[in-house]
Amino acid sequence: MNIVADLPYNRLSARKIDTGRIVLNVREAGEGPLMLFFHGITANSAVFAPLMDAFCDRFTTIAVDQRGHGLSDKPESGYDAKDFADDILSLIQTLDRGPAILVGHSLGCRNSVTAAATNPDLVRSVVGIDFTPFIETEVFDALASRVNAGDQLFGHLQAVEAYLANRYPNIPAPAIKVRAASGYQAVEGGFRPLASPTAMAQTAEGLRADLVPAFRDVTRPVLIVRGGDSKLVSAAALQKTSALRPDLPVVVVPGADHYVNEVSPEITIKAIRNFIDA
């Protein structure tokens, strides 16, 4: 059996969508109302295969390679929250299937909340996974260091898997294989990330921008999901966010770190299902 070919994301339909402002690579499955998935920095749409599988019986599930990532366009600039949010809104308009449920992890959470605050008519609700306002400066410093260190040449795919397993020690091995196989490309001498290093540096810097206005102003329902052991969203950051918006429901997943949807997909799926059913 070809293990790479049998990875779950390869069973999803893939295509590129020109929104008029950017060409985005997507993976999709299912029929029904629109549910869009947006990954974290340096990742890609493939990481959402388990969640898409759980909801494709009720929704048209579409996971997106965000700008600078995966097989989507990688412009030289334009990596602020507004740029990503406008991509989301233009995608919903192009699909002409909205309003959409937005599920975003980390960077994807920031972008989804910003999109919902910008144009609520196109958004039904948001599931924001492990990203909030009030993240501490030193946390962003550490994140930028990790992101910039990822621009390496690896001799073979097994070396990529070993690097990712060390970088993400709580992500299960099958999910590590997905990240390795979907997020790297063969080049002369080995494998390099599909994510643009220039885009990643700008995106990491852009994550520091003030997210309070978007969280304060968003009018659509928003579920906040935090990993109980997250090193990105501290308990203090979550507490301040809840003080800012006490009306937003919160789910804390015990034992999960920042990568909640990959570490604890079953609990994440249950939390999303309860939220959208309510």
Please confirm, yes or no, whether 83 is among the known catalytic residues.
no
Distance CA 224, CA 205 (A): 23
Distance CA 244, CA 239 (A): 9
Please confirm, yes or no, whether 106 is among the known catalytic residues.
yes
Structure-token pair, residue 180: 């390795």
| Active-site choice (45, 106, 112, 182) | 106
Order of all β-strands in the sheet with 34-38: 13-18, 23-29, 60-64, 34-38, 100-105, 123-129, 222-227, 250-253
| Active-site choice (130, 196, 230, 257) | 130
Structure-token pair, residue 208: 């520091």
* CA-CA-CA-CA torsion sign (270, 107, 194, 14): positive
| Active-site choice (45, 125, 258, 264) | 258
Please confirm, yes or no, whether 65 is among the known catalytic residues.
no
Largest CA distance in the chain: 53
Which residues are marked as active site? 106, 130, 258
